[in-house]
Amino acid sequence: MAIEIETVAVLGAGSMGHGIAEVAALAGYDVAMRDIEQDIVEEGYGQIEWSLNKLAEKGQLDEEADSVLARIETTTELDAAVEDADLVVEAAPEDLEIKRDVFADVDAAAGPETILATNTSSLRVSDIAMATDRPERCCGLHFFNPPVKMDLVEVASGEQTRDDVVEAAIEFVESLDKTPIYVRKDVPQFVVNNVLTPYMGEAAWMLDDDASEISEIDAAMTFKRGYPMGPFELNDFGGLDIFAHTREQWGDPVPESVSRRIDAGELGRKSGQGFYDYEAGSGADYE
Ligand code: 3HC
């Protein structure tokens, strides 16, 4: 019998967590969104409200923002979040030990049938799943930022993931009106980040070599190649610290143009300054 998903718990209310909670609620699921501190949960909930109002303003919402919000419960209690969930999506910080701890705690608190999915962007599913007694019910569900706007979701198997768990995860993604890409082999970074990380890295090496300018490289990829964002704009968007952390995790060197900015606290959009100056309003206008 196929696995049914009706209730969803999202662990983490940061940019990915609150976005995943929002898309699940938009698709009609009852969602519990949990983070470790009340102010983080409130900040995430506020971001969902902002996003829903933005969609409503543009006529992109089929119902009142409040009725979507009514399907989202917030909590700081892990047990309360996961005890009734058919699917738990973990969107904790990108650190193997943190994710393993979260998975072990969820394994103890959730029902035996619950599927545990990780939104990891750079780790192996199996390395996280092996912290549980149910690695066959664990998988990767990798959303992209911002989840409400990005159509693609990677569904990834760990070494022991059962076929019916993969099928349920794929159906869940389709029910969100998003497109699943299935990653059969348990490779770190799945498909997209395996391509995007070198894309941003190669551009930064060119800058280190003084081969071209930030605006020239971004313009080449957006205007000539049709990418929605150039490599520097994308790095600012995701956060330079996240990019550097991903590279360091697998022993890859971090380009000097990135590490210098991180040392100066210039992490991208979230800090107001990265390769571009957002506070000055220059954004990525290729000026
Ligand atoms: N909810 C609602 N509205 C939102 C929003 C959100 N979460 N985020 C942005 N918007 C709004 C903006 O405020 C803007 O509103 P305005 O027109 O009133 O100013 C509007 O959406 C812009 O929407 P458009 O579709 O017109 O804009 P774009 O065509 O520029 O699309 C984009 C925006 C979808 C972000 C596009 O630039 C894009 O696709 N960028 C690439 C993003 C990407 O590659 N993400 C993946 C990063 S890698 C990753 O996530 C991996 C992970 O592991 C870290």
Index of the ligand 1 atom closest to the CA of residue 150: 34
* Whether pLDDT at 130 is above 50: yes
Q: Distance from the CA of 10 to the center of ligand 1, in angstroms? A: 21
Q: Which of 40-54, 97-111, 112-126, 270-284 has the lowest mean pLDDT?
A: 270-284
SS3 state of residue 92: coil
**Is 245 a residue of the active site?**
no
When the pLDDT of each residue in the chain is averaged and rounded to a whole number, the result is 95
From CA 74, how far away is CA 51, in angstroms rounded?
Answer: 17
Query: What pLDDT is stored for residue 281 in this prediction?
Result: 60
Q: Which two tokens stand for residue 3?
A: 């696995």
> What integer pLDDT is reported at residue 286 of this predicted model?
36
pLDDT value of position 284: 47
Q: Distance from the CA of 143 to the center of ligand 1, in angstroms?
A: 13
Structure tokens at 214: 């930030």
Domains of the chain: 7-183 (3.40.50.720), 194-271 (1.10.1040.10)
DSSP symbol at 138 = E
Q: How far is residue 10's CA from residue 253's CA, in Å, rounded to a whole number?
A: 33
Q: What whole-number percentage of the chain has pLDDT above 70?
A: 98
pTM above 0.90, yes or no: yes
Active-site residue flag, 18: no
pLDDT of 197 reads 94
Q: Is pLDDT at 282 greater than 60 in this prediction?
A: no
List the single range of 131-135, 148-152, 234-238, 250-254 with lowest mean pLDDT.
250-254
- How many alpha carbons fall within 13 Å on the CB side of residue 91? 28
Closest CA to 34 of 3, 72, 2: 72
Ligand 1 pocket at CB < 6 A: 51, 54-55, 121, 144-146, 148-150, 193, 196, 228-229, 234, 238
Task: Please count the other Cβ atoms lying within 10 Å of the Cβ belonging to residue 164.
Answer: 14
pLDDT of residue 256: 98
Catalytic (active site) residue 271 = no
With beta carbons less than 8 A apart as the criterion, state whether 176 and 27 touch: yes
pLDDT at residue 283 above 60? no
Residue 57 has pLDDT above 90, yes or no: yes
- Distance of CA 249 from the midpoint of ligand 1 (Å): 27
